[in-house]
Amino acid sequence: MTNEVTVVTPVLCLGVGGIKTEAFEAALEYEPDVIAVDAGSLDFGPYYLATGSTFAPRRQVKEDLSLLISASDRLDIPLIIGTAGGSGARDHVQSTLEIINEIAIENDFSTKTTIIQSEIESSTLEQVRTERDNISPIGHDQPLQAENVEHANRLVMQMGVNPFINALEEEPDVILAGRSCDNAAIGAYAVAQGLPMGLALHMGTILECADFAAKPKPDTIQSLGSDMNATSPMIATISSDGFNIEPADNRLQCTEQSIAAHTLYERGHPTWSLEPGGALDTSDCIFEAVDTETVRVTGSQFVHTDEHSVKVEGAGVVGQRAITMLGFRDPRLISQLDTVLNRVRNTMLEKFSSQTDRLSIDYSVFGRDAVMGDLEPNTQIANHELGVLVEIIADTKTIATDVGNTLEMRLFHGRHTDDVPQSGAVAIPFSPNTFHTGPATEFTVYHAVPVETPDEFASTSKVVLPREGLK
């Protein structure tokens, strides 16, 4: 057990934006006990989880990891990576494992890596679904049904601190974890050292965004220029009654308000958020400036619940997507837009629905209400020009593309009004006119599942890299 732990988080997300090397070296001078970084998010949408694809450029992930692994080796401290590969299912973790393997080979050193998987088999979740009460939807009201599980191509548990704490007992060089709570991947080391969970998770919540929670000092905004946000490290030192937090880049500063404001970033409620096993309550927090760059936070509490629940996320492929874009410039057609678009859509639905189980055609009218949809308060079209994005989802690539091509020809050649030309009613900006964008995906599972132990859905393995034939 220890009095104090220093954590460095180098970047907002592994592989996104790059790490500022000078600031990172400055961060290492704080003699951190651990380097911890989040490597993914649901923010990017369901596609990456559903298909096993990665978002961040591989080259950037490798560059970032080379820097981090070399630092962790030099300082003899662990490197912890949460939500590896962007979504944290097995394929995503594997993609990062291969990169670490390459780095080990190319730099001629070995690394003891503990892998914590959190992907759940459909059959396992289905069994849990039928056996356990109190599975509850999060943020929506659809109960978890068999079809939700069946339609997910990948399912993951969002792990909390426990699997990391267990892994740390063996003192690995690297912990490569699947889907995790950002704050758990970053706060777990401190909890493993006996420091309070509430403080550790709150620290993790702020640290995981790296320098995002800091702001430019008044006289340095010019020198920062167009430097991308959140690519220089943040450092926190946590003890039993609070944590101090500051940015590594000396052009930035944490203020009481910037840290308080970041506590509520991307959270539904300003002071209460559900976590595995309970909730983080920041309502009694005090934020106090220690100096011009550093803020001390005290008062963060973890509230345990009797039943330990974890969030399970699932996404699946629902069809194949094709898109086209239509340019409208004739005001006589613009004034009839909805009538014309709806008529053509209905014709397409009638014509093609016998060929495909799934068929949806969505229009987004840019220049009117595409960005906000039903939330848009302003429904008057004032523009001389509109862009309509047409999104088609059907069972196959061929059908989706056929619908797109037929729809735009119908619009192009239709007798829409007495005066609009019967050929050339819309502008089509590219060739091919319609293109297949790959699988269309949706989130199908987003539920809190009670578990028997915090590690129930986690599985841990150890490997010494480099290893031949890792692929």
Partner 1 sequence: MTKIKDVAQTIRSKNSSPYEITIDIIFDDVTIYKMVKQSKMPLPEKVTEHYGSGKEYIKDVFYYDEAHAIKIAIQRPITAGDSGDTDVYGAQQYAPILNMEVE
Contact residues: partner 1, CB under 8 A = 42-47, 138-140, 256-257, 260-261, 263-271, 285-287, 315, 318, 321, 360, 362, 364, 370-379, 389, 391, 393, 440-443, 446
- Tell me how far, at minimum, the Cβ of 315 lies from partner 1, in Å: 8
**Cβ neighbours for 195, distance < 8 A, ≥ 6 positions apart:** 2, 5, 238, 239, 240
Beta pairing partners, 158: 311
- Tell me how far, at minimum, the Cβ of 96 lies from partner 1, in Å: 23
- Tell me how far, at minimum, the Cβ of 376 lies from partner 1, in Å: 7
Are 443 and 355 spatial neighbours (Cβ–Cβ below 8 Å)?
no
- Nearest residue (CB) to partner 1, 44 versus 412: 44
Beta pairing partners, 314: 155, 445
Are 163 and 456 spatial neighbours (Cβ–Cβ below 8 Å)?
no
Backbone angles phi, psi at 305, to 5 degrees: -105, 155
- Tell me how far, at minimum, the Cβ of 70 lies from partner 1, in Å: 33
Alpha-carbon distance 315 to 154, whole Å? 6
- Tell me how far, at minimum, the Cβ of 324 lies from partner 1, in Å: 14
- Tell me how far, at minimum, the Cβ of 374 lies from partner 1, in Å: 4
The helix/strand/coil state of 48 is: helix
- Nearest residue (CB) to partner 1, 271 versus 460: 271
- Tell me how far, at minimum, the Cβ of 322 lies from partner 1, in Å: 12
Best CA proximity match to 252, nearest among 269, 238, 233: 233
Alpha-carbon distance 115 to 334, whole Å? 56
- Nearest residue (CB) to partner 1, 113 versus 273: 273
- Tell me how far, at minimum, the Cβ of 380 lies from partner 1, in Å: 11
> What are the helix and strand counts (H, E) for the chain?
14, 21
Q: How far is CA 227 from CA 212, 220, 249, 364, in A?
A: 12, 12, 12, 33
Examine residue 247 and say whether the peptide bond preceding it is cis (omega within 30 degrees of 0). Answer: no
- Tell me how far, at minimum, the Cβ of 141 lies from partner 1, in Å: 9
- Nearest residue (CB) to partner 1, 303 versus 370: 370
- Nearest residue (CB) to partner 1, 189 versus 243: 243
Q: List the structure tokens of 277.
A: 């096993």
Best CA proximity match to 132, nearest among 347, 312, 283: 312
Q: How far is CA 102 from CA 63, 97, 312, 462, 471, in A?
A: 11, 9, 31, 17, 11
- Nearest residue (CB) to partner 1, 140 versus 415: 140
**Cβ neighbours for 139, distance < 8 A, ≥ 6 positions apart:** 268, 446
Alpha-carbon distance 55 to 386, whole Å? 31
Alpha-carbon distance 369 to 376, whole Å? 6
Dump the DSSP string for 200-226.
HHHHHHHHTTGGGGSEE-TTTHHHHTT
Beta pairing partners, 3: none
- Nearest residue (CB) to partner 1, 270 versus 331: 270
- Tell me how far, at minimum, the Cβ of 42 lies from partner 1, in Å: 6
- Nearest residue (CB) to partner 1, 63 versus 369: 369
- Nearest residue (CB) to partner 1, 90 versus 311: 311
- Nearest residue (CB) to partner 1, 217 versus 416: 217
- Nearest residue (CB) to partner 1, 222 versus 379: 379
- The amino acid occupying position 247 is P
Q: List the structure tokens of 21.
A: 């090397």
- Tell me how far, at minimum, the Cβ of 127 lies from partner 1, in Å: 25
Q: How far is CA 418 from CA 153, 385, 405, in A?
A: 49, 20, 24
Best CA proximity match to 113, nearest among 162, 64, 176, 70: 176
- Nearest residue (CB) to partner 1, 25 versus 385: 385
Are 108 and 73 spatial neighbours (Cβ–Cβ below 8 Å)?
no
- Tell me how far, at minimum, the Cβ of 44 lies from partner 1, in Å: 7
The helix/strand/coil state of 129 is: helix
